[in-house]
């Protein structure tokens, strides 16, 4: 590897200061070299030497030497220095091995010769003295046992310790209850048994040591460890507490007790133990690491990152610490910082599969899809049995339409999922990905159930008592106290499709009947969508910096009667808030087109086409069927410019030929599959002078789709790609196409609403799951949708070809669709809000009557479903 002049100069300064005894300055220069090139082995050697000499941190010196050797196995000086460090730690066998390795690489290394000679001499003297020992000289056996233990010879050590006991059965009695040597003998025996996994023997000898000396701190702590490993956790806790009663500031006992509390989800108690440890010492990384985990689980990312910073201060080569901090950065969308941490972890430990997989995920999030694929494959090369990497690689390949071995990979992933569910593990496929996969709907339901159970576990860590809910009193009469209190929780109040679709809803609720509270899980992005919702909603609270338990308390304090989850399993969700059940009625709507699998979500707001009663068994919630279409939009209020003929773009603006028939699909590429793309290719071959207009979403998929199309006889100019555009432009330019082709495996949802508002007809084929049926519902709610829905893939192809070849028929459909936009239910937001309010009052009235949640269908009949009061 080539080194820069800057590195060489800094390293030279580091060496000069080291030789002069200026270790602090030497370390500063060495760290500067490390920041520029963490794999430079001569600098790693120097860093280790500095920590060895000046800091006395032998463990960290060993880490640096091992890293240098991992990068450069024939580095004799590193082997020699490692031998010296092992000698300081008493790890004599390893020290001797390192000396021999150093001399094999460089026979002229004086330090290695000297160290090896001292080791051999020490061992020889011990053996010589041992021979001279009297058979009844118990202290000598004790000392010899210690040497064998240091040399990694446990069986020989046990024999010596046992002979020491046999030679003086009265050892404890002869020297009194507090015989230090007897206690050490018992503890040494116990520690060897513990290392061998012989926990019963370890417990026996630790108890003997305590019987000899009731104030033996380390014996209590170590006995606690042995009991914990043996599954006797309550007894272990008593040992740690006894140790702390003797010395309240004992750091290991505090940490060990905290670990038990953490395993029991007693996070507050665990945090107290770790914080107490850190008042005694800041040199242990474990308390910082565990505190970071607790803070992260509670949504306190700032303090979590601070703790990980401390872990890395104590051990700059802690690859696990870098990965954990990177994961935290990634969760709060600081993806570039996450990538840097993963890369540093890989530089330290190139074989760390987890670091490669997490780097892949960060690359994917930042749009570097090809790099993500490469990193996932590297992770799997290092660890072939890595379910998360296998499943995430599949999803990443789906995103760029890499369909080679697709069926085989899906079969493998389905096997992984079924095994994980059977073992009660969190599935490696997220529910949001599962809705777009060709999986059995029941399997998708089970995936959601496991994630819901995980959210319940997170909620339990906060140790909140059950909430008291508002009284089950029907809403009657006038005035503010007579209104239904509805809360909306979302991370998408901002520049996000959900806000594009629902922007007017929160202000359209009838304030005489409904009091609306919006709880924003994300900070203000400063966009018009955030500002609009914030100004129009009656109550709007930014809870993004609050821990989840505080948010749940606020919702409960606000006496919310119906709480709406607008996220489901989408990015930014904090479903543990719902698992705490701060409201008596909790509802899933809009954000996630599938079942939550959560017992704490009673209802799913949907419609009769999207979630027909015959499919109710694939949902955990009770189905609430709104009239027409459940999928709301705000286009009549926010995008009326699309209806202005003077605002229409031209085909030439996007490289579209005026004389071509343009099919279009503006869905993300992950929604496509080989079957639908082959169908599109068939359509293009059958319709003369036609082309398919697609989005670069992402751009990495373009060349693959062009290659697939060419293999199926489609001409290059029949596939047209365009870039993602701003919302208003995206809707306007949709009208330039002639017919939209939907993706059956996962429909156009927001995009489907976009193109219908633009007056562009579509062809869609509904399947079973919710995400496969939304486009059909959108079409039906226009009033002309029957002509756009196909019952099979064959009918899908025939319908698309028929409409393309029969221009008058297509034009008639287009004209009727455009005429319906201002009068059809699909785009009547105010009407939709009234129907939603009808459903809310029905839910509340059922609750007040003491009935369990039950499915129901909302009608626009004011007698049957009043939208104001019961």
3-state secondary structure 799-858: HHHHHHHCHHHHHHHHHHHHHHCCCCHHHCHHHHHHHHHHHHHHHHHHHHCCCCCCCEEC
What pLDDT score was predicted for residue 167? 58
- Condensed to tens digits (0 to 9), the pLDDT of residues 516-549 reads 999 999 999 999 999 999 999 999 999 998 889 9
What pLDDT score was predicted for residue 130? 46
Average pLDDT of the segment spanning 399-425: 96
- Condensed to tens digits (0 to 9), the pLDDT of residues 106-125 reads 888 877 777 776 776 565 45
- Condensed to tens digits (0 to 9), the pLDDT of residues 171-182 reads 443 333 335 566
Strand partners, 690: 661
What pLDDT score was predicted for residue 103? 86
Which of 5-19, 263-277, 476-490 tops mean pLDDT? 263-277
Q: How far apart are CA 235 and CA 239, in angstroms?
A: 6
Q: How far apart are CA 419 and CA 400, in angstroms?
A: 28
Least confident of 65-74, 337-346, 590-599: 65-74
Cα–Cα distances (Å) from 55 to 29, 58, 60, 347, 641, in that order, read 16, 8, 10, 24, 70
Q: How far apart are CA 277 and CA 263, in angstroms?
A: 18
Decide which of 599 and 89 is more confident.
599
Residues in the chain: 870
What pLDDT score was predicted for residue 3? 57
Q: What is the full DSSP assignment across 506-561?
A: HHHS-TTTEEEEEEESS-----HHHHHHHHHSSEEEE-TTS-HHHHHHHHHHTT-S
- Condensed to tens digits (0 to 9), the pLDDT of residues 785-825 reads 999 999 999 999 999 999 999 999 999 999 999 999 999 99
Average pLDDT of the segment spanning 20-28: 86
Angle at 403 between CA 399 and CA 407, to 5 degrees: 115
pLDDT band at 577 (very low <50, low <70, confident <90, very high): very high
Which helix H or strand E contains 201, and what residues bound it? helix 199-212
Angle at 347 between CA 341 and CA 351, to 5 degrees: 105
pLDDT band at 151 (very low <50, low <70, confident <90, very high): low
pLDDT band at 133 (very low <50, low <70, confident <90, very high): very low
Domain boundaries, the chain: 5-131, 284-384, 480-629+831-857, 645-780+783-820
Is residue 563 within 8 A of residue 470, CB to CB? The reply is no
Asked whether residue 274 carries a pLDDT value surpassing 60, the answer given is yes
Q: Of 3.40.50.720, 3.40.1010.10, 3.40.50.2000, 3.40.50.450, which CATH number belongs to 645-780+783-820?
A: 3.40.50.2000
Least confident of 40-44, 337-341, 663-667: 40-44
Asked whether residue 683 carries a pLDDT value surpassing 90, the answer given is yes
Asked whether residue 96 carries a pLDDT value surpassing 90, the answer given is no
Decide which of 351 and 90 is more confident.
351
- Condensed to tens digits (0 to 9), the pLDDT of residues 375-403 reads 999 999 999 999 999 999 999 999 999 99
Q: What is the dihedral of CA 775, 781, 782, 787, to 10 degrees?
A: 60
What pLDDT score was predicted for residue 124? 45
The answer to whether the 284-384 and 480-629+831-857 domains have the same CATH topology is: no
Average pLDDT of every residue of the chain: 90
What pLDDT score was predicted for residue 136? 47
Cα–Cα distances (Å) from 20 to 47, 80, 362, 465, 662, in that order, read 15, 22, 44, 63, 77
Asked whether residue 85 carries a pLDDT value surpassing 60, the answer given is yes
pLDDT band at 127 (very low <50, low <70, confident <90, very high): very low
What pLDDT score was predicted for residue 120? 62
> Which one-letter DSSP state was computed for residue 267?
H
Is residue 375 within 8 A of residue 368, CB to CB? The reply is no
- Condensed to tens digits (0 to 9), the pLDDT of residues 707-753 reads 999 999 999 999 999 999 999 999 999 999 999 999 999 999 999 99
Q: How far apart are CA 85 and CA 390, in angstroms?
A: 40
Superfamily of domain 284-384, CATH level 4: Tetratricopeptide repeat domain (1.25.40.10)
Average pLDDT of the segment spanning 353-361: 97
Provide the edge-to-edge strand list for the sheet that holds 585-588. Answer: 539-542, 514-520, 484-490, 562-565, 585-588, 603-607, 622-626, 856-857
Asked whether residue 412 carries a pLDDT value surpassing 80, the answer given is yes
Least confident of 32-41, 234-243, 616-625, 740-749: 32-41
Torsion angles phi and psi, residue 849, rounded to 5: -85, 0
Least confident of 143-157, 250-264, 348-362: 143-157
pLDDT band at 265 (very low <50, low <70, confident <90, very high): confident
Asked whether residue 132 carries a pLDDT value surpassing 60, the answer given is no
What pLDDT score was predicted for residue 143? 58
What pLDDT score was predicted for residue 837? 96
Cα–Cα distances (Å) from 485 to 467, 511, 602, 681, in that order, read 16, 10, 17, 52
- Condensed to tens digits (0 to 9), the pLDDT of residues 310-350 reads 999 988 899 999 999 999 999 988 999 999 999 999 999 99
Residue range 480-629+831-857 forms a domain whose CATH class is alpha beta
pLDDT band at 59 (very low <50, low <70, confident <90, very high): confident
Asked whether residue 17 carries a pLDDT value surpassing 90, the answer given is no
Residue range 5-131 forms a domain whose CATH class is mainly alpha
What pLDDT score was predicted for residue 177? 39
What pLDDT score was predicted for residue 20? 82
Decide which of 299 and 239 is more confident.
239
């Amino acid at each position: 590897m080539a080194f820069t002049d800057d590195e060489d100069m800094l390293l030279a300064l580091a060496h000069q200061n080291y030789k002069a005894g200026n270790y602090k300055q030497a370390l500063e220069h060495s760290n500067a070299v490390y920041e520029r090139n963490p794999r430079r082995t001569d600098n790693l050697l120097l860093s280790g030497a500095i920590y060895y000499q000046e800091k006395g941190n032998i463990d960290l010196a060993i880490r640096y030497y091992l890293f240098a050797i991992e990068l450069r196995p024939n580095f004799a000086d590193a082997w020699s220095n490692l031998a010296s460090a092992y000698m300081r730690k008493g790890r004599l066998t390893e020290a001797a091995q390192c000396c021999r390795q150093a001399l094999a690489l460089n026979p002229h290394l004086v330090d290695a010769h000297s160290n090896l000679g001292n080791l051999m001499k020490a061992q020889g003297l011990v053996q010589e003295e041992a021979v001279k020992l009297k058979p009844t000289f118990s202290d000598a056996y004790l000392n010899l046992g210690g040497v064998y233990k240091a040399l990694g010879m446990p069986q020989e050590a046990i024999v010596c310790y046992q002979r020491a006991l046999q030679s003086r059965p009265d050892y404890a009695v002869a020297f009194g209850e507090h015989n230090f040597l007897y206690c050490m003998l018992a503890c040494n025996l116990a520690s060897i048994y513990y290392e061998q996994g012989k926990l019963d023997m370890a417990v026996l000898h630790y108890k003997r040591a305590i019987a000899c000396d009731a104030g033996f701190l380390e014996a209590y702590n170590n006995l606690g460890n042995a009991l914990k490993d043996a599954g006797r956790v309550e007894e272990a806790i008593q040992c740690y507490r006894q140790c702390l009663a003797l010395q309240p500031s004992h750091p290991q006992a505090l940490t060990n007790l905290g670990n038990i509390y953490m395993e029991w989800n007693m996070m507050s108690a665990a945090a107290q133990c770790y914080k107490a440890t850190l008042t005694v010492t800041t040199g242990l990384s474990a308390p910082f690491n565990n505190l970071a985990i607790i803070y992260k689980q509670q949504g306190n990312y700032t303090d979590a990152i601070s703790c990980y910073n401390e872990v890395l201060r104590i051990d700059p080569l802690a690859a696990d610490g870098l990965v954990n901090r990177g994961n935290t950065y990634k969760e709060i969308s600081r993806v570039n910082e996450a990538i840097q941490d993963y890369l540093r972890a890989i530089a330290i430990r190139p074989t760390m599969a987890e670091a490669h997989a997490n780097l892949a995920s960060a690359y994917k999030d930042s749009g570097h899809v090809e790099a993500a694929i490469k990193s996932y494959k590297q992770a799997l090369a290092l660890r072939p049995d890595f379910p998360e990497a296998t499943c995430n690689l599949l999803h990443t390949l789906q995103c760029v339409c890499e369909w080679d071995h697709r069926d085989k990979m899906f079969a493998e992933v389905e096997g992984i999922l079924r095994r994980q569910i059977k073992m009660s593990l969190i599935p490696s496929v997220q529910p949001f990905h599962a809705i777009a996969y060709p999986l059995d709907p029941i399997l998708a339901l089970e995936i959601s159930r496991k994630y819901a159970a995980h959210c319940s576990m997170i909620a339990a860590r906060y140790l909140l008592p059950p909430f008291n809910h508002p009284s089950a009193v029907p809403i009657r009469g006038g005035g503010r106290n007579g209104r239904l209190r509805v809360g909306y929780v979302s991370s998408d109040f901002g520049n996000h499709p959900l806000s594009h679709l629902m922007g007017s809803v929160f202000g359209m609720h009838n304030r005489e009947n409904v009091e609306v509270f919006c709880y924003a899980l994300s900070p203000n992005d400063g966009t018009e969508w955030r500002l609009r919702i914030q100004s129009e909603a009656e109550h709007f609270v930014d809870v993004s910096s609050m821990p989840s338990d505080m948010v749940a308390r606020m919702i409960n304090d606000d006496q919310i009667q119906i709480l709406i989850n607008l996220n489901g399993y989408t990015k930014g969700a904090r479903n543990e808030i719902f698992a705490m059940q701060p409201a008596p009625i909790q509802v899933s709507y809009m954000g996630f087109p599938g079942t939550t699998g959560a017992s704490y979500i009673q209802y799913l707001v949907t419609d009769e086409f999207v979630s027909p009663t015959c499919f109710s068994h694939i949902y955990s919630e009770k189905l609430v069927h709104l009239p027409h279409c459940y999928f709301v939009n705000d286009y009549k209020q926010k995008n009326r410019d699309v209806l202005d003929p003077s605002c229409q773009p031209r085909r030439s603006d996007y490289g579209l030929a005026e004389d071509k028939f343009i099919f279009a699909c503006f869905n993300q590429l992950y929604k496509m599959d080989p079957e639908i793309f082959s169908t599109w290719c068939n359509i293009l071959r059958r319709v003369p002078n036609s082309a398919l207009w697609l989005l670069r979403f992402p751009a990495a998929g373009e060349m693959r789709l062009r290659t697939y199309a060419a293999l199926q006889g489609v001409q290059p100019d029949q596939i047209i790609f365009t870039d993602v555009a701003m919302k208003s432009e995206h809707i306007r330019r949709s009208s330039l196409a002639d017919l939209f082709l939907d993706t059956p495996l996962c429909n156009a949802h927001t995009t489907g609403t976009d193109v219908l508002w633009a007056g562009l007809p579509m062809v869609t084929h509904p399947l079973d799951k919710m995400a496969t049926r939304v486009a059909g519902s959108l079409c039906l709610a226009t009033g002309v949708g029957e002509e756009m829905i196909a019952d099979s893939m064959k009918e899908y192809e025939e319908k698309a070809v028929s409409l393309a070849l029969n221009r008058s028929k297509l034009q008639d459909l287009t004209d009727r669709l455009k005429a319906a936009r201002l009068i059809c239910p699909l785009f009547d937001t105010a009407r939709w809000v009234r129907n939603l309010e009808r459903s809310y009052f029905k839910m509340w009235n059922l609750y007040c009557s003491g009935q369990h949640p039950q499915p129901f269908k909302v009608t626009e009949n004011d007698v049957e479903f009043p939208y104001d009061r019961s």
